[in-house]
Structures are given as C-alpha cells and as structure tokens.
Structure 1
Amino acid sequence: MLCSDLVAHYGLKKSRRVSIQESLGIFLLYLAYGCGNRLVQEFFNHYGEIIHRHFHKVLDVVVNLSKDIIKPNANFNETIPEHILNNPRYYPYFKDCIGAIDRTHVKAYVPQRYQIKYIGRKNYVTQNIMVACDFNMCFTFAWAGWEGSAHDTKIFNEARRRREVKCPLPADGKFYLVDAEYPNKKGYLAPYRGSNIRYHIPDFRRGQTRAVREPKGFKK
C-alpha cells in the first residue's frame, strides 16, 4: 500500500535495475537499523552508488508525504481539546490553546566543509528541528534540516512566512504554547521571563530554579 501511494501521489518511479519495492526496502533498512552503505550493498546486491541514489530518491518523496501526514485535524482551530475541556486545572485558562511548539537538536552527518555551521550549543554537529504537537501528543508539524547553529526565532519566523512548509497557524483568538527561545507574540504564548522560574521537569524534581535571561532592553 505504501509503494502504491508513493507511486500514485508522490511520483516515485522504478529504474531499470531497481524495483519500487526494492527502493523502499533500501530506504527502510537505513532508517530501521542505521546500517552503513556497505551492509546495504551486500543485502540488496547493488553497487554503493545505486544504493545511495535510491535512498535519496525515496527520501525526497517521503518528505513530501510527511507534509500530508504530519498535520493537525481539519477543525483544530475550532474545537477545545478534550484534555483541556475535562481538566479543571487547564479549563478555562487554556481553552483557546491548540498545541505546543518547541525545538530539538538531532545529531547530523554532513560533509566536512559544512560542519562548522551545524555546530551549535551542543558542541557537536546537529540539525535544529522545529516541531508542534497537540494535546493527544501527536505531531502536527515538523521542519527538519536547519543547521544546529540556526537561531530558533529565525526558524520560527521562516515557518510562519513560507506557505510551502504548511505550518498550521493559529486562528484569531487561538494560540500555541511556545518555548522560551521563541518570541512572545499574538498567537504564541511563551513562559513568563521572571528572574527565577522552574522551567524543565528535572528542575521540579530537584526543587531547583532556573534563571531565565531577560530580553535585551527589558526594564523592570
């Protein structure tokens, strides 16, 4: 079914030597087990260049598939999530909240000439991924590929500006909860930037507070 869908709707084509099923198998073997090119060559009995080419061919169409799968419900801006509606801790305070936005850094492997700009706060090569999720803990948006050194606010602004990435925007009166690294603006509610707050779950467990840097030009 997945092969048929990728062929019919996303343009995946077979080659003279490699079938659609084999191309998808190469792609899934890489993802499931993190195999190196040599092991995949032995498994499928193809040259390394063929393995490399077909992996990236399937990757391109799966990225387009992901934009149609990782998305919110059609009425996400119109209803109150049951998790909020049925919980007096959250209702009515978060009745207009439609989800949360955060970022994560994932290790990346890039050519050596590009590695410097992919080294960010983690001090190793990563890509910065912006994600959104709903109150069912399902991803509704994911944008991967940014350099580890890219600022979260830049990625956030580009996601809202570029329609082709299909970032689900809040309607008037609705809002996302966002990480402290994102801007606090209409439709996006960031944590209070006090002098000392408990921010991450480990801070609560240890009973510690975490200082949050106040924005430039901020006056008490």
Structure 2
Amino acid sequence: MLLSLAMVLAIKRRSARLRRSISYAYHALSRYNIRSININEMAFHSDRQCVDNCRMDRRSLSKLCYLLTTRGKLKGNRNISINELVIYFLHIIAHNVKNRVLKRQTARSGETISRHFHLVLNSILRLHNILLKKPEPIPENYTDDRWKWFKVQGCLGALDGTYINVNVPANDKPRYRTRKGEIATNVLGVCTPNMQFTYVLPGWEGSAADGRVLRNAISRRNDLKIPQGN
C-alpha cells in the first residue's frame, strides 16, 4: 500500500515537472518567435521599413553592424544578435521610444533593453574617429547655393545650436525650459557642407543662450578647436 502510494506521488511530481518544462519551452519559443517577427518587420522586410524604423537602409545597417563588431568591439550572445542590438538602439534614438514600450514589442525586460542600449552606445563612441570627419575648406567653385555666403578663404563649415527634447525631474524643468516653452537640452553642432559632423557639444540646459554654449565649447578642457584652413 505504501509502495503504491509512493509510486503515485513520484509519478505526479514527474508529470508536474514535465508540464513545467513544456510550459517554459513553449513560452521561450513564443518569445523567440515574437522577436524574430519583430526584427524582420522593423528592418529586414524592405529598405523602406528599415529607413522608417532605423533611419537607414539595409545596406547601411549592415555596414554599421560590421563597424561596431570589428572596430567598436560590440559582441552579441546566444540570446541576442548584433543586428538585433543595433536595430533596437537605432529605433530608440530615431523615435524616442521608451523602454516600457519597446519591452512589449520585443518580449524583453526594461533592464535588458537599457543594458543593451548602453552596450551599443559605448561601441558607437569608440567609432568617433571614423564617424566624426576632419573638416576640409569649402572650395571657391562650390555649387551649393546654401553655402554661397561661406565661400571665403579657409571656411571649414558651419555651427549652430539645436534643441532636443528631454525628460528631466520636475525641480530641473525651469532650467531646461526653452524660450518656446519646451523642456529640452541645447546642443551645439558643427558640420561640413556634406552634413558630416566634426564637433558636438550636448548637455546644456535649454534656457542657456547659444552664445554661452559657444563660449563654453571654446573654453572647456576638451575645447572646440578650429583648424587652420588653406
């Protein structure tokens, strides 16, 4: 009698473990399918979808992934590929997507998304020598009318400030409020005629004037250096 009861209990426990294993495998497979479908729809279905979601076509995306792997030291793992890391990163910065939104789309936790975002960001920063081009003087025979006023000897490009909306604590909002009433950070950028950035200074509050940001860019430790043109 006792032996029969023990056998029944053992069979029930084994059946319960088997059901849990099957359930876990089913949910894991479901998450994998969700991620695969999501990645294909975001980037690999067509160039148009890739541009809409990542702001670049599939060819440019492949080049960026290659650079991040070979020069940026970005590594994937068995749970996420390089392509998936980069696509999620580009989607976040292109559309200001929040973690709580993306975690539903990707079946991942917010902590995982945040950690992966910073992995790609660190790899991007390692490519600054490649992505930030050295300026070259604008030639006198340059045909673009937008730069006709810059055809002076030694002109290397143009600089301007722009506002980028940010989320800050309530007690910091007055400092980040722009003259248009938006909560933003004032970013100084310097670019060449073909829109290649040669200098970027982020971090200033939206209430700061452009002149103040420029003075800080020139006087800070890693200051804005103006190369001599030809």
Q: TM-score, normalised on structure 1?
A: 0.59
* Structure with greater helix share of residues: 2
Taking a change above 3 Å as real, the CA distance of residues 10 and 164 of structure 1, as seen in their structure-2 partners, is: farther
Taking a change above 3 Å as real, the CA distance of residues 160 and 47 of structure 1, as seen in their structure-2 partners, is: same
* Structure with greater strand share of residues: 1
Greater Rg by CA: 2
1:31 aligns with 2:123: no
Taking a change above 3 Å as real, the CA distance of residues 116 and 13 of structure 1, as seen in their structure-2 partners, is: farther
Task: State percent identity of aligned pairs.
Answer: 31
- Structure 1 residue aligned with 2:115: 53
Letter in 2 for 1:52: S
- Structure 2 residue aligned with 1:22: 84
Give the alignment partner of residue 101 of structure 1, picking from 134, 141, 159: 159
Figure out how many residues of one structure are paired with residues of the other and give that number: 166
Distance 2:100 2:149 in 1: 52
Answer whether contact 1:85 1:95 (CA < 8 A) is retained. no
1:117 aligns with 2:175: yes
- Structure 2 residue aligned with 1:141: 199
- Structure 2 residue aligned with 1:8: 70
Taking a change above 3 Å as real, the CA distance of residues 98 and 41 of structure 1, as seen in their structure-2 partners, is: same
Answer whether contact 1:126 1:147 (CA < 8 A) is retained. yes
- Structure 1 residue aligned with 2:25: none
SS of residue matched to 2:142: helix
Answer whether contact 2:178 2:206 (CA < 8 A) is retained. yes
State how 1:1-220 maps to structure 2 within 5 Å: 1-14=63-76, 17-66=79-128, 68-73=130-135, 76-77=136-137, 80-83=139-142, 94-162=152-220, 164=222, 167-171=224-228, 174=229
Q: Which moves more between the two structures, 128-137 or 100-109?
A: 128-137
Deviation at 1:161, TM superposition (A): 4.0
Distance 1:30 1:69 in 2: 19
Root-mean-square deviation (CA, aligned residues, Å) is: 3.4
Deviation at 1:80, TM superposition (A): 3.2
Which consecutive unaligned segments of at least 5 residues does structure 1 have?
176-220
Letter in 2 for 1:130: L
Answer whether contact 1:29 1:35 (CA < 8 A) is retained. yes
Taking a change above 3 Å as real, the CA distance of residues 23 and 85 of structure 1, as seen in their structure-2 partners, is: closer
Distance 2:205 2:175 in 1: 6
Distance 2:169 2:141 in 1: 46
Deviation at 1:31, TM superposition (A): 2.9
